[in-house]
Structure 1
Amino acid sequence: MKLEDFSLNTKKITRIIDEDDFCSGRTLKSYLSSRVEQIKPSGIRRFFDMANRVEGVISLGVGEPDFVTHWSICEAVIRSLEKSYTSYTEIAGLMELRKEIAYYMNSRFQVSYSPESEIIGTIGGSQALDLSLRTILNPGDEVLVIEPSYLAYAPLVTLAGGIPVPVKTTIETNFKPKPEHIKQSINSNTKALILCTPNNPTGSFLNKDELEEIAEILIEHDLLVITDEIYAELTYDETFCSIASIDGLRERTIIISGFSKGFAMTGWRLGFICAPEGFSQEMLKIHQNTMLCAPSITQYGAIEALKNGQQYVQEMRKNYQKRRNYVVNTLNEMGLDCHIPGGAFYVFPSIRSTGLSSEKFAENLLMKEKVAVVPGNVFGEGGEGHIRCSYASSIEALREAMKRIKRFVESSCLD
C-alpha cells in the first residue's frame, strides 16, 4: 500500500468514527465497554495541561519526589546492561530482588513473606493494585474506599467489576476514618477495604492503635484489606506500622508498595505485592498474561536501592519534614486551615474561608498567581473545599509559592 493510500484510508476511518456510523448501523458507543465509560478522565491531568500552557508556573501539583534517583542505583543498572542482563526474568521477578524485598519488609516493618511464593514484582504500585482487585473481586462485590483518596482506587475497583463505596473523612479528624463510619458502610456485599497510610492526598497517618481498631472491624466482618504502603518510608512523627503486622490480619491482607516515592524512582515503574500464597499465586495468572514480568533493568536497580539506599531515604525524609513544617505553618498563618500530615509529601488545606469551590480556587490561583495546585474534589466528594499541595519542591520554590498564595488569598480576586 502506498503512503498516500494509507492516508486516504485513515481519513475515511476517522470520518466514519466521527459520524458514529459503523457498518450494520452500529455506533462507536456500542463497541465500548460499559465499565470504561463509567471512568471519568483524570481531574489532575486537566490541571496539569492548564499549567503547562502558563509560563512561569510554580507547580505544587505533581505527586513526585523532586530528588533524583541515587547514582548508585543507576550504576547498578549500567552494570547489568554491560553484562547483557536484558532477558525476561521469572514472572514474579528476580529471585534476588524478591529475597531483598522479603528482608526489607521484615527488618523495616516486621512483616514476613516468602520470596518464593508470596512476593511479586509489578509495573509500579498501580499495576499491583489492579492485580489485587482483579484477583479478589466478582461482579457486584463492594470495596470500601477511604475518601479523600488517590484517584485511581475507585476506577480500578470499577474496572475489576466491583463497586467502590466511599467512606468519607474530614479535616476535623485529620482525615482519619472513624471506625463507626467504616462499620456503617459494610453490608453483605462488602468484600474488602482499601487503606492508604500515609495517605494521598491528605498526608494523614494511622498509627498502630488506630489500625488495631480497624483490624477488629475487618476480622468481625470477615473482610480483606488492600493496604497501599507506597509512602511507608515517608513518615515523620510516628513509626510506620503495617496493618499486616497486627494479630489476625496477615492472612486477610494484601500489601502493595514500590520504589517510586521513598526511593525517588517514579519513572522506573517498579512496584511489588506481598500477599499470602493463596492470593499471590492467583495474581500470577493475570500477571503472566498481561505484563509477563517487570523490566529486568529496573529490578537490578531496585536490588541496589534495597541493599544500600537507606541513608539516601533518611536524608530525603528529613528534608521533607522541614518543608512540611514550613508549608503547614505558613498556610495556617494566612488563614487556610491545614492539619499537620503525618507522612507522604502533601498538605490538604481547607480553602472554605475564601468562599470558592476547590476548582475555582485552583483555576484562579493558576491564572492570577501562576501557582498550580490540585482541587480537592478530584479525590472524591469529601475533598471539596480543599486543595492538594505537594511540598516535593525546593524550599526556595515553596517560599515563593506560599508568598503568591498569600497574595491571592488576600486579594480582591476572591470576590
Structure 2
Amino acid sequence: MASSRLARVAESPTIRIANIANQLKQDGIDVISFSLGEPDFDTPKHISDAACKALYSGETHYSPSPGIKPLREAIAKKLQTENNLNLDASNVMVTPGAKQAIFEVMMSVLDDGDEAILFDPAWVSYEPCIKLAGANPKWVPTDPENGFLPYDIGDHITDKTRLIVVNSPCNPTGGVFGKDKLKEIADLAIDHDLLVLSDEIYEKILYDEKHYSIGAMEGMQDRTITVNGFSKSYAMTGWRLGYLAANETFLHDFQKIQSHSVSSATTFAQYGAIEALEGDQQPVEDMVAEFRQRRDILVDGLNDIGIHCNRPTGAFYAFADVSEYGNGEEIAEKLLSDAHVAATPGSAFGSSGNNFVRLSYAISQERIREALERIENCLL
C-alpha cells in the first residue's frame, strides 16, 4: 500500500502526455510532440569524447558522494565568474540531475506543516517534492501580460513559510526575472528570515535578457541554494548531471540524503561535465540561436492563428492562451486526438494555467511549421 505522503502526489502530467504520444507513435501515427523539455540536439562531440576518454581510462568506480573534486572546482569557478557567487568547491555538490538536487533541498530544509512559496505557474515537480517532504505549497499569482512575474508576494508569507522557489528563466512560461524583481524577493527573504531555492537550469538559454543570480545579492549568500545542471544548456539530458551550491552547513545535510540514496553521480560522466564547462562554448551559442528562430516561428504562427502567445525571453517553451477555443486540458486532448500534436495542459503547472497549453519548441523548424498547420486545421 502507498504511504500517505505518496498519496498526496499525482503522476507527472508531462510524462503522462509524452507516454500517450509515444504509444501513438508505436501504433504508426505521426505525432508531433511539444511535450517534453528536452533539447533535440546531440551532446557536443568534445563533451562526449571527454567522457569516453575517462570511461576507457578506468574512471568507472564510485566517485566521492559530492562529486569528483576537479568538477566541483570547475563548477565553483563558473559560479564565481558567471554568477558572482562567492564560494569554492566545498560549497558545491554534484547530483544525478538537477531534479535530484531539488528533491534533496526540499527533504533537507522543509518540515511537516511548513510552507514553500511557488509562483503560479511553476514546473510540475516542485509541488510533489514539497509534498513528499511533508510541507505544503503556497501559490502566488503571476501576471501573464508582464512576463508572468509574481505580484503581492508578501501577502502570501505566513509564520509557516520556510522557502521561496525562484525559477528564472522559467519553465513553463519562458519568463525571466530581472534584477528589480529578484531584489524584491531577496528583501522579503531577509525580512522574514526565509530561504530561497534558485533553479537556474535555463540560465544560458536567453534571448533578450540578462541572467542574474539572487544568491549574489547583498545578504543572500547564506540563505540561497542555487541549483543548476548540464541537461538544458549542453543537451545532456540523459547524462543525469546536476549540481547545487550553498553554504557548507546546508551541503552537509544534502550529502546525508545523497549518500544514503543515489550515492553519487556517474563518475565518467562527470569528466564530460568538466569539458562542458571548460571547453568550446560555441555549440551553446549555436543552439540558443536556433531556439530563437524556432521561438519566433512558433509564437508568430500561434498569434496568426488567433492563439494569444507572448514572446518568451528565456528557456524553450511557449505558454499559449487557448481560451478562445476551450480550456487547456480540452485543447490539449483535442490537439492530440484530432491533430496528433502533443502539448501539455497549462493546469499541470498550477491553476493559473487552466486556459493555457505549454509547447516545448525543442523540435525542428520544419516540424513546428507542420504542427502550426495541423493546429489551424484542427481549431478553425
What TM-score range do you get, normalising by the shorter chain?
over 0.9
Could you tell me how far 1:282 is from its partner in structure 2? Answer: 1.7
Superposed CA deviations along residues 75-124 of structure 1, whole A, max 9, x for unmatched, are 11111122111111111111000011011112222223210x21000010
- Secondary structure (helix, strand or coil) at the match of 1:382 reads helix
Choose from 54, 59, 64 the match for 2:33.
59
Q: Deviations over 1:220-261 (max 9, x none)?
A: 111110011000110110111111111111111000110000
Residue deviations 1:295-326, cap 9 Å, x none? 10110110111111411111111111111122
- Judged with a 3 Å threshold, the aligned counterparts in structure 2 of structure 1 residues 53 and 293 are, in CA distance, closer, same or farther, namely closer
One-letter amino acid of the structure 2 residue matched with residue 122 of structure 1:
T
In structure 2, the residue corresponding to 1:349 is in which secondary structure? strand
1:175 matches 2:145: no
Q: Retained in 1: the 8 A contact 2:319–2:356?
A: yes
Quick check: 1:170–1:382 contact (8 Å CA) kept in 2? no
SS of 2:94's equivalent in the other structure is strand
- Residue-by-residue CA offset, 1:253-276 (whole Å, 9 max, x unaligned): 000110000010000000000101
Instruction: Give the distance between the partners of 1:350 and 1:378, measured in 2 at CA.
Output: 14
Shift, 1:37, TM fit: 0.6
Q: Do the aligned residues in 2 keep the contact of 1:263 with 1:309 (CA within 8 Å)?
A: no
1:384 aligns with 2:335: no
Cα distance in 1 for residues equivalent to 2:196 and 2:108: 13
Contact 1:201–1:379 (Cα < 8 Å) also in 2: yes
2:160 corresponds in structure 1 to 189
SS at match of 1:226: strand
The question of 1:108 aligning with 2:82 is answered yes
Contact residue 15 and residue 36 of structure 2 kept, 8 A: no
Give the match for residue 24 of structure 1: none
1:204/1:342 contact within 8 Å kept: yes
Residues 284-299 of structure 1 mapped to structure 2, 5 A cutoff: 284-299=255-270
Deviations 1:124-145 (A, max 9, x none): 0011001111111111111001
Distance in 2 (alpha carbons) for counterparts of 1:293 and 1:53 = 33
2:364 paired residue number:
394
Q: In the TM superposition, what is the alpha-carbon distance from 1:52 to its structure 2 partner?
A: 2.2
Paired letter, 2:370: E
Give, in angstroms, the shift of residue 50 of structure 1. Answer: 2.2
Runs of 4+ in 1 over 2 A off after TM superposition: none
1:152 pairs with 2:125: yes
Q: Secondary structure at the match of 1:241?
A: coil
Residue in structure 2 matching 1:210, options 164, 171, 181: 181
**Aligned-partner Cα distance in 2 for 1:138–1:243:** 24
Give the aligned residue type for 1:67. F
- Partners of 1:118 and 1:281 within 8 A in 2: no
CA deviation after TM superposition for structure 1 residue 199, in Å: 0.5
Q: Which amino acid in 1 is paired with 2:130?
A: V
Equivalent position amino acid for 2:84 in 1: Q
Structure 2 CA distance for partners of 1:49 and 1:286, relative to 1, 3 Å: closer
Residue type of the partner of 1:50? I
Aligned-pair identity in percent equals 39
> 1: distance between equivalents of 2:379 and 2:322?
9
Structure 1 position 160, deviation (Å) = 1.0
Query: Which letter does structure 2 place at the counterpart of 1:106?
Result: Q
Point out the structure with max Rg over C-alpha: 1
Structure 2 unaligned residues grouped into runs of 5+: none
- Opposite residue 405 of structure 1, the aligned amino acid is I
Letter in 1 for 2:339: E
Q: Where in structure 2 are the equivalents of 1:254-273 lying within 5 Å?
A: 254-273=225-244
- What is the aligned partner in structure 2 of residue 3 from structure 1? none
Aligned amino acid, residue 16 of structure 2? R
CA RMSD of aligned residues (A): 1.1
Counterpart secondary structure, 2:321: coil
CA distance in 2, matches of 1:375, 1:286: 33
Q: Determine which of 280, 305, 310 is the counterpart of 2:276.
A: 305
Which residue identity is paired with 2:81? Answer: S
Three-state SS of the structure 2 residue aligned to 1:169 is strand
C-alpha offsets along residues 135-183 of structure 1, whole Å, 9 cap, x if unaligned? Answer: 11111111001111111101101111211111122423321101x2x11
TM-score w.r.t. length of structure 2: 0.97
Q: Of residues 2, 9, 12 in structure 2, which corresponds to 1:42?
A: 12
| Secondary structure, counterpart of 2:260 in structure 1 | helix
Residue of structure 2 aligned with 1:91, choices 65, 88, 91: 65
Paired letter, 1:330: G
CA contact (8 A) 1:100 1:306 kept: yes
Secondary structure of residue in 1 paired with 2:313: coil
Gaps spanning 5+ residues in structure 1: where?
A: 1-27, 411-415
CA distance in 2, matches of 1:223, 1:71: 42
1:124 aligns with 2:97: yes
Q: Secondary structure at the match of 1:318?
A: helix
| Paired AA for residue 93 in structure 2 | I
Instruction: State TM-score, norm by structure 1.
Output: 0.89
Letter in 1 for 2:150: P
